[in-house]
Amino acid sequence: MAPSVEVPEGTDAIEEFLRFHDRVYAERGAFWPAFPALEAPFVAGTGPVAEGRRRRPFVAREGGAIVARVLAVLDSRYNQHWGERLGHVVKFEALPGTREAVRALMDAACEWLAAQGAEAARCGMGPLDMPFVIDDYTSLPPSILRFNPPYYHSLLKDAGFETERGYVDYRIAVRPELVARWESAVTAAQRAGFRLVPLREVAPERRAALTASIFNETFSAHWGVSMVTEAEQATYLGLFEAVGALDSSVIAYRGEEPMGQVMVVPETSAFASVDPARTLRPSERLNWLGIGVRVPARGRGVNLALASSAFLELVRRGATHVSYTLVLDDNWPSRRTAERLGAEVCASYVAYRRNFPS
């Protein structure tokens, strides 16, 4: 029987859309389960994450059961910032052996995006979505990252997508000499006149506006990134606070002027779905990190100091491994920072693109 493609509507249908993720990974020994509290409003088109973003979910069914899903998004924030007419297909998941279903699914999603004025679709970098891993298919990565099975790449290429950009993921095994290096980086920044302030010490009513402003400025030229609103940032900060990230996230000031920030969510492996027969390795109990430094402070060691300050806090909590997380392949300033911190590449990722007929 040929697969059918549908647009899920209503609370139950969206819940089924989200929970399909857990079906795909049910046989995996350890995985990050669906997160309906954050994802459901976005898929339904409500809440701050959905602001300025038209979206339509699609599912492919065979024999009445979902075998693949995707969310088509036209992100006006992204397109206004970059001057593009790009669509995104995010939250893609599929069961094995679903080539025909995925092609039909992606055709439907891309046709909808084209009807909204898009010229192409990106898969693997967009709202609430990250690139696809291409090598390490067994380790549990930081909670923000994908852990897709290897067959996703052939499914996507069969559905008309081509590789657009590559990323590397960095991990560090904590060692005494690295702790000393991080302490020196913090001290050097302080001697140069920078203050490193945990986000918890910023007045609660100022946190969202401050961190959104720094993110939007420091990532304004970063490939693939959409600008964040204050309301959206407040949503994320509420989640960060619940897992202790206000103490591991740090703002760098020179005088009273913010010069950069590092947002670090500590390891949250307690929320992972782990089979009783599977034991997480210490190297799988990882934070995730996002760092940005304003142009006037670049080249002055602020990036090293911010990451070092965060890592030292994680070590105080007992971390034996820390993550510098994703970096674009050609972002050599950030890659050199990772190397100076003691990081090594632990996995590689890609984002895909499908161009529409002109």
Is pLDDT above 80 for 273? yes
Domain map (residue ranges) of the chain: 4-129, 170-350
- The mean pLDDT of the chain is 97
Q: Are strands 250-254 and 257-265 parallel, antiparallel or unpaired?
A: antiparallel
pTM: 0.96
Could you report the per-residue pLDDT of 74-119, keeping only the tens digit for each? Answer: 999 999 999 999 999 999 999 999 999 999 999 999 999 999 999 9
Could you report the per-residue pLDDT of 295-354, keeping only the tens digit for each? Answer: 999 999 999 999 999 999 999 999 999 999 999 999 999 999 999 999 999 999 999 999
Same fold, 4-129 and 170-350: yes
Phi, psi of 335 (to 5 degrees): -65, -40
Is pLDDT above 90 for 1? no
The pLDDT, as a whole number, for residue 40 is 98
Could you report the per-residue pLDDT of 29-76, keeping only the tens digit for each? Answer: 999 999 999 999 999 999 999 999 999 999 999 999 999 999 999 999
Residue-by-residue DSSP string for 275-292: -TT----GGGS--EEEEE
Q: What angle do CA 85, 88, 90 make, to 5 degrees?
A: 175
Q: Which of 35, 30, 264 is nearest to 136 (CA)?
A: 30
C-beta atoms surrounding 59 within 10 Å: 23
**How far is it, in rounded angstroms, from Cα 99 to Cα 70?**
14
The CATH architecture of the domain made up of 4-129 is 3-Layer(aba) Sandwich (3.40)
Residue in the structure block whose two tokens are 């290096």: 181
Q: Give me the percent of the chain exceeding a pLDDT of 90.
A: 99
Could you report the per-residue pLDDT of 261-271, keeping only the tens digit for each? Answer: 999 999 999 99
How confident is the model over 196-206, as a mean pLDDT? 98
Task: For domain 170-350, say whether CATH 3.40.630.30 is its number.
Answer: yes
Is residue 358 very low, low, confident or very high in pLDDT (cuts 50, 70, 90)? Answer: confident
Is pLDDT above 80 for 126? yes
